[in-house]
Chain A
Amino acid sequence: QQQVKQSPQSLIVQKGGISIINCAYENTAFDYFPWYQQFPGKGPALLIAIRPDVSEKKEGRFTISFNKSAKQFSLHIMDSQPGDSATYFCAASVNTGFQKLVFGTGTRLLVSP
């Protein structure tokens, strides 16, 4: 019940295209859903995050769509660029006053020129 399932495992998108990564969860107590971006050899960095009281959040080319009833959320990267090539992790946590994130298994995105 603590798992976050992420798909696809890898993704190749042409420059200018839309990259879509999906995640699903079971624990309805999760109330914070961040996405992290990780470049090779580096630590993950927060990209964008959402709470379940909204269905969508947009920051620049990055958008999170959240479907509470389906217990799913997704990351959309519009106008994908080669510089977006990285591994993306979705995550979820419960409001316990302590940030204990459960991570998905990651999606390796390659944006071809």
Chain B
Amino acid sequence: SQTIHQWPATLVQPVGSPLSLECTVEGTSNPNLYWYRQAAGRGLQLLFYSIGIDQISSEVPQNLSASRPQDRQFILSSKKLLLSDSGFYLCAWSVPLTSGNTIYFGEGSWLTVV
């Protein structure tokens, strides 16, 4: 069965510090991968998606970047965090090339920038 792992689960970072959130998917090959952000009391905003290694698309201009160095690994990064980067970050995956497929979310990472 497929599983998705995301870490760290929580972190508190000072403004201006770097960020690295990691996500791995097991039990599937060549998944579509996603990073979403959920601000408190708000919906889910798609930040990045990837259809393959080193193929990253950004949905919104922001202080963050994403990389996919391996087929089932997706990394969310920032060189200098802003207060507005605080939120709940969710990695997700789906079976590629087929519409209407479920997006499976990880457990999320709570980021508080202080």
CB contact under 8 A between A97 and B97, given known A43-B105, A43-B108, A45-B105 = yes
Residues of chain B lying within 8 A (CB to CB) of residue A100 = 46, 49
Q: Are B46 and A49 in contact (CB under 8 A)?
A: no
Count residues on chain B whose CB falls below 8 Å from chain A CBs.
Answer: 26
A interface bracket (residues with beta carbon within 8 Å of B): 20 to 34
User: Which A22-55 residues sit within 8 Å CB-CB of chain B?
Assistant: 31-32, 34, 36, 41-46, 49, 51
Q: Taking the nearest CB of chain B, how far is it from the CB of A53, in angstroms? A: 11
Q: Are B106 and A103 in contact (CB under 8 A)?
A: no
Q: Taking the nearest CB of chain A, how far is it from the CB of B51, in angstroms? A: 7
Q: Are A106 and B99 in contact (CB under 8 A)?
A: no
Q: Are A98 and B51 in contact (CB under 8 A)?
A: yes
CB-CB nearest in chain A for B93: A99
